[in-house]
Amino acid sequence: MTNLEEQKKETTELLQLVSFTIGSEEFGVDILFVQEINRMIQITKVPNAPSFVDGVINLRGRIIPVIDLRAKLGFDRKEHDNNTRIIVVEVSGKVVGFIVDAVKEVLRIPKSITEAPPELVAGVNSEFIMAVGKLEDRLITLIDLEKILSNNEKQTLSEVA
């Protein structure tokens, strides 16, 4: 491929994202990981679960651990409301629910408008921040779902559910 062809491919390569908010910040995850988005349902607490794990839900017969993304990303917890959603994703072969304040939209953005995250993005530990998308009127922090949970945390979740 010539350099021009590579540049053209890069500018036309699109990322499909589900965008959601936590507090005043907007985040996005790759839509390919997302299985479904649900309203809040009854969460069963699990004894001795990590602090960011709210518990488990029964989703059509499957027991799925649920993680409060606010707690995981270092935000203060808040009461769930009518906008609160559980984004069910599959990460490393494990199905997990992430509680978010609100789901905004499904977006298609060119990969060319994203750039590597600065050292500290919105106060969030940047190891699982994949990139920052620069839209006309806002920034979206793209979360790498493969890295948001450490191997130890993935192991713990396997024991929870």
What confidence score (pLDDT) does residue 51 get? 84
**Any idea which of 48-57, 137-146, 149-158 has the lowest mean pLDDT?**
149-158
Report pTM: 0.85
**Any idea which of 1-5, 45-49, 92-96, 135-139 has the lowest mean pLDDT?**
1-5
What confidence score (pLDDT) does residue 157 get? 74
Q: How far is CA 82 from CA 41, 52, 79, in A?
A: 11, 21, 10
Sheet holding 85-91, edge to edge: 34-39, 85-91, 94-100, 62-68, 53-59
Tell me the pLDDT tens digit for each residue of 7-25.
445 446 899 999 999 999 9
Tell me the pLDDT tens digit for each residue of 24-64.
999 999 999 999 999 999 999 999 888 889 999 999 999 99
What confidence score (pLDDT) does residue 125 get? 58
CATH of domain 14-160: 2.40.50.180
Tell me which DSSP letter residue 124 carries.
Answer: B
CB 119 within 8 A of CB 5: no
Domain range annotation of the chain = 14-160
Indicate the pairing of strand 14-22 with strand 25-30: antiparallel
